[in-house]
Structure 1
């Protein structure tokens, strides 16, 4: 059991919990069981004073969209903020752009990030708009302005956007918990590698929110 202190210093981060990363959108980037994380994300938020979230928001004609000649995961040269080709996903106005069922409307979050809007930029982490991590999305600054010291992270996919976001938060000085029950990953080998990288960076891995305790009695009640 980990004690995370008082609720006022804790934030919950829902990273890219979108339908494009679930079996509901098989032609995009379906993560096995990705549509099943809402309940755990909501329980996680019950331990936090602040809830923040992010979405991919990509143009349909982005330079990184995979083709028959250049399939998914093909490396891309000549673009400093694009590294790999991906299936088209998270296009605003489509089903895949939506948050998974059971999560709040984006207007109910305390802070929300839309990332990857530009045609030639494909970030993974939600804390910076670019791969070089020079252009902040403002979420780190927001969390610090609210006195947050601990961040509980979940979302999709564990081995890409969740991992990168958690690493960015670690580097920013937060105590970071990655909640396995609130995440799903694309591939077994990449999940194992992600977990090792996260642990090396100081992130704390938990199997579910039941491993956490808070000093706030009301939040304890939510967790139980």
Structure 2
């Protein structure tokens, strides 16, 4: 069984919400995510679901990425992806949430800011349930894309690989906050055994080859 994972493909990480965390081109990945999902038996998604009183919130973008002395919030960020806001919504072109087979909402607690979709905490102790659900559905392969490549996508892919799934990362279905971050993310994923592919077309060929 194959599952396709849309990681945090939300408006908050696109130019549609310029005051939040806009990733260049973040609103352009829906077609690739949909093409990727067409290769899978199941489709799952994660969404940041934050609140305005989070301990990691700062007022300005130039105050971001400062270290925090909290066990489950390691860096400062501006407000983003608050439940009920425009930024919380999935990017245009993706299915409505009710059309997915499984949904993960993360970062709900105001002192917790996880990146990966598989655990609520940075120490990876409190499961979101997605790994267990994938195992229950007898999934062995996960196709990953979303936002942003150098944070939540990378961490989710690494968590899935560590859990024993064969993971493919569709680069065309991702965008990164920075070029340097993307390079480092790709290096870490390759070292973990994750297969990087350029687009859904190449992914289809690779899945056939590896079958």
- Fold similarity call, TM over 0.5: yes
Q: Equivalent residue for 1:52?
A: 44
Q: TM-score with structure 2 length normalisation? A: 0.95
**What pairs with 1:84-123 in structure 2 (closer than 5 Å)?**
84-123=75-114
1:145 to 136, 141, 147: 136
Query: Greater RCO between the two (CA within 8 Å, min separation 6)?
Result: 1
Q: How far apart, CA to CA, are the structure 2 residues paired with 1:69 and 1:211?
A: 37
**Counterpart among 65, 71, 94 of residue 57 in structure 2:** 65
| Equivalent residues of 1:20, 1:89 under 8 A apart | yes
SS at match of 1:76: strand
For 1:114-137, what per-residue CA distance to the aligned partner results, in whole angstroms no more than 9, with x for missing partners? 000001000000000110100000
Residue 50 of structure 1 and its aligned partner are, at CA, apart by: 0.5
Which of 193, 198, 204 matches 1:202? 193
**Alignment deviations for residues 13-58 of structure 1 (CA, whole Å, 9 cap, x no partner):** 0000000000111111100000000111011110100101000000
Aligned to 1:43: 35
Q: Gaps spanning 5+ residues in structure 1: where?
A: 1-8, 218-224
Counterpart of 1:156 in structure 2 is 147
| 1:67 shift after superposition | 3.2
Task: Provide the aligned C-alpha RMSD in A.
Answer: 1.8
The structure with the larger Rg is 1
SS in 2 for 1:12: strand
Q: Going by fraction, where is strand more abundant, 1 or 2?
A: 2
Q: Secondary structure at 2:58's aligned position in 1?
A: coil
Measured after TM superposition, the shift of residue 69 of structure 1 is: 11
Q: Which runs of 5+ in 2 are unaligned?
A: none
Runs in 1 of length 4+ with deviation above 4 angstroms?
none
